[in-house]
Amino acid sequence: MELNVRLFALYRERAGKNIVTVAVADGATVSDLTDEVRRQIPNLAPPEVKIVVAVNTDYADSEVVLQPGDDVCLIPPVSGG
């Protein structure tokens, strides 16, 4: 399946775009998705950094299984306030 992954702040700037389209297998997890995004955009984050993901506006653990049509967003470290 193809998913449109939204990027914000640092990730948006590093990628040079606010949406990246990635193809992952059916049954793919959040961590499969971040692996694929990293392959497409190696300068997104250093390999030792865990990329935080939101699925359908909730934080999602790496083992969460993705569904077609999910709203997937990559969340760099937050700094509100």
Q: Which residues bind another protein (CB under 8 A)?
A: 6, 8-10, 13, 39, 42-43, 45-47, 49, 54, 57-59, 73, 75-81
Closest CB to another protein among residues 9, 25: 9
> What is d(CA 43, CA 8) in angstroms, rounded to the nearest whole number?
15
CB of 55 to another protein, least distance (A): 10
How far apart are CB 8 and another protein at their closest, in Å? 5
DSSP one-letter code for 36: H
User: Which among 58, 52, 56, 66 is positioned nearest to 8, based on CA atoms?
Assistant: 52
